[in-house]
């Protein structure tokens, strides 16, 4: 079994309402990145990666363009990152990443989700030290050694590499994301990344009983329904 990263191929997108929320999350990320680093993807590597991910997640082109057009304007909304950490049923650890223009509102909304699920918010750092902040790159293939050689040649600090089910998965510190991705692009012609993200990856997973799983799923559903929430990470196995 490989490391338990979360393949968020946006399985939530089962209803038009959730699709709209997913599009909004991508648009917000694009806007913030373009506003801070420029609207040219060639000069803003963060923006380029976000555009590629949005396209992979089937975000319509007009949504992407609208976010970039908005970033080209003067003024605009002022978003800040916010991260909340807490505990779910069975000792599950949860990290909630947000982009917000009103931190007080966002904190209240997130806290209410934990309260409704009879779970508890923790203090900053209470659970994140048990996760690795990792770049994750997954692509079709089985030549793990060739991938590792390409990464080592490019002097990439690789945390882990796996080959399973016809896919190669590379884990690297989040600071090595761009270097790792470029090394693989250079080594494998036409490589298409099925997963291309930076995530909090749990160092160990926890299994839940049936009743605990119901409570946990409810907590995650409530959090992911919030407009300001970008990502929810956890160590549920």
Q: At 134, is the pLDDT very low, low, confident or very high (cuts 50, 70, 90)? A: very high
Please give the Cα distance from 139 to 158 (Å, whole number): 16
Residue reference for tokens 């882990």: 160
Measured on CA atoms in the order 180, 181, 182, 188, is the torsion positive or negative?
A: positive
What does the alpha-carbon distance between residue 125 and residue 122 come to, in Å, rounded to a whole number?
8
Q: Which residue blocks in the chain are alpha helix, DSSP H?
A: 16-37, 45-56, 61-72, 103-116, 144-153, 177-187, 210-225
pLDDT at 1 over 50: no
Tokens 């970008």 map to which residue? 230
Confidence of residue 18 (pLDDT cuts 50, 70, 90): confident
Which CATH fold would you assign to the domain 80-128+204-234?
Alpha-Beta Plaits (3.30.70)
- Compute CA 71 distance to the chain's CA centroid, rounded to the nearest angstrom: 22
- Has residue 3 got a pLDDT over 70? no
Which part of the chain has CATH 3.30.70.980?
80-128+204-234, 131-201
* CB 173 within 8 Å of CB 156: no
Q: Measure Cα distances from 40 to 68, 77, 151 in Å.
A: 9, 20, 27
Burial readout 13-32 (b: 16 or more C-beta within 10 A, e: otherwise): beeeebbebbbebbbbbbbb
**Residue range 171-196: average pLDDT?**
93
Closest CA to 5 of 167, 147, 146: 167
Superfamily of domain 131-201: YebC, transcriptional regulation domain (3.30.70.980)
Q: What is the mean pLDDT of residues 32-39?
A: 91
- What pLDDT is stored for residue 72 in this prediction? 87
Section 152-178 average pLDDT: 94
Average pLDDT over the chain reads: 90
When pLDDT is cut at 50, 70 and 90, the band that residue 116 belongs to is very high
What percent of the chain stands above pLDDT 90? 76
Q: Which residue has the higher pLDDT, 88 or 21?
A: 88
Whether CATH 1.10.10.200 fits 16-72:
yes
d(C-alpha 1, C-alpha 204), whole Å: 12
For residue 24, give both structure tokens.
């909004």
Query: What pLDDT band is residue 56 in, cutting at 50, 70 and 90?
Result: confident
Q: Is the dihedral of CA 74, 33, 59, 185 positive or negative?
A: positive
Residue 22: pLDDT over 90 = no
The ranges of the chain annotated as CATH 1.10.10.200 are 16-72
């Amino acid at each position: 079994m490989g490391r338990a990263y979360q393949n968020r191929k946006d399985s939530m997108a089962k209803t038009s309402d959730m699709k709209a929320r997913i599009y909004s999350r991508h648009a917000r990320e694009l806007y913030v990145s373009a506003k801070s680093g420029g609207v040219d993807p060639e000069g803003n590597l963060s923006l380029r990666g976000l555009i590629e991910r949005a396209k992979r997640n089937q975000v319509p082109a007009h949504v992407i363009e609208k976010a970039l057009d908005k970033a080209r304007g003067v003024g605009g909304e002022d978003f800040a990152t916010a991260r909340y950490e807490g505990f779910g049923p069975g000792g599950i650890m949860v990290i909630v990443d947000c982009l917000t223009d009103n931190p007080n509102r966002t904190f209240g909304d997130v806290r209410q989700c934990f309260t409704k699920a009879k779970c508890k918010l923790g203090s900053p750092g209470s659970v994140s030290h048990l996760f690795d902040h990792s770049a994750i790159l997954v692509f079709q293939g089985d030549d793990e050694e060739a991938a590792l050689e390409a990464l080592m040649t490019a002097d990439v600090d690789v945390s882990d590499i796996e080959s399973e089910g016809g896919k190669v998965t590379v884990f690297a510190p989040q600071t090595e994301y761009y270097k790792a991705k470029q090394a693989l692009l250079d080594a494998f012609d036409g490589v298409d990344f099925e997963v291309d993200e930076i995530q909090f990856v749990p160092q160990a997973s926890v299994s839940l009983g049936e009743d605990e799983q119901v409570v946990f799923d409810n907590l995650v559903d409530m959090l992911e329904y919030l407009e300001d929430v970008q990502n929810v990470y956890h160590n549920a196995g």
